[in-house]
Chains A and B, each alone.
Chain A
């Protein structure tokens, strides 16, 4: 299985801050990297697929980059509704493993 490691596990930030979350794969996954946002008691919501393609309806303050084994999710200006847990997922090979999550909390 491909292992996905996110960092940090949690972070505290203020509204308006620029936030960066990283995800590292244990082997190359080319660009098969997806990002999800999950709020308490809710299903995950797809933000970005194929490393950098924004899912329809997702605000442009979210962006993704990377290739191979190292990937980044950036929120350019954190909004109150962005406080949540974020997961990366590789869809290069089955099982399509997830990272352990990054919880973004209010500072």
Chain B
């Protein structure tokens, strides 16, 4: 069974870098498929952040592209997100997910809440 688990600090200071890792179990990232990040500010809608393939090919949301880096470590079966220069607007529950048929997000992590405050 495919499982994803987000990890990282729950509190980040404004202007600093938000770093999260998604650890995948039950499926090898090296087997293919795209792996993505999605976020959801409290009480608001979902926002697609970006995806990465095992090869390192990435697609980013243009609204975040200048601050965003998504990377993959197939040896650890993990992929990661780094978002620079955060502001309170970046506070959200961050989810990692596996993309499947139709490019739909078929497996999700439980989500991790990231607050931005000094």
Using CB atoms and an 8 Å cutoff, list the residues of chain A in contact with chain B: 1, 31-32, 34, 36, 42-46, 49-50, 53, 55, 87, 89, 91, 94-101
Q: Which of B8-16, B25-33, B103-111 contacts A (4 or more CB under 8 A)?
A: B103-111
Do A99 and B45 have beta carbons less than 8 Å apart?
yes
- Nearest-neighbour CB distance to chain B for A29, whole angstroms, equals 11
Given A43-B108, A43-B110, CB of A91 within 8 Å of CB of B102: yes
Chain B binding surface, main DSSP class: mixed
B47 contacts A by Cβ under 8 Å: yes
Do A32 and B103 have beta carbons less than 8 Å apart?
yes
Chain A binding surface, main DSSP class: loop
Do B48 and A49 have beta carbons less than 8 Å apart?
no
CA gap between A96 and B103 in the complex, in Å: 9
Do A87 and B46 have beta carbons less than 8 Å apart?
yes
Interface size on B, residues (CB 8 A): 23
- Nearest-neighbour CB distance to chain A for B97, whole angstroms, equals 8
CA gap between A94 and B51 in the complex, in Å: 9
For residue B108, which residues in chain A have a CB less than 8 angstroms away from its CB? Answer: 43-45
- Not counting A32-B102, A49-B106, a sample of 17 additional A-B residue pairs whose C-beta atoms are within 8 angstroms of each other reads A31-B102, A34-B104, A34-B105, A36-B105, A42-B110, A46-B105, A46-B106, A49-B101, A55-B104, A87-B45, A89-B46, A91-B102, A94-B59, A94-B60, A94-B61, A95-B63, A96-B103
For residue B111, which residues in chain A have a CB less than 8 angstroms away from its CB? Answer: 43
For residue A45, which residues in chain B have a CB less than 8 angstroms away from its CB? Answer: 108
Most buried by A among B48, B50, B110: B48
14 A-B pairs (CB sep. < 8 Å): A44-B95, A44-B108, A45-B108, A87-B46, A89-B46, A91-B103, A94-B59, A95-B59, A95-B63, A97-B48, A98-B45, A98-B47, A98-B48, A101-B46
- Nearest-neighbour CB distance to chain A for B98, whole angstroms, equals 10
CA gap between A97 and B46 in the complex, in Å: 8
Do A89 and B45 have beta carbons less than 8 Å apart?
no
Do A101 and B45 have beta carbons less than 8 Å apart?
yes
CA gap between A91 and B59 in the complex, in Å: 12
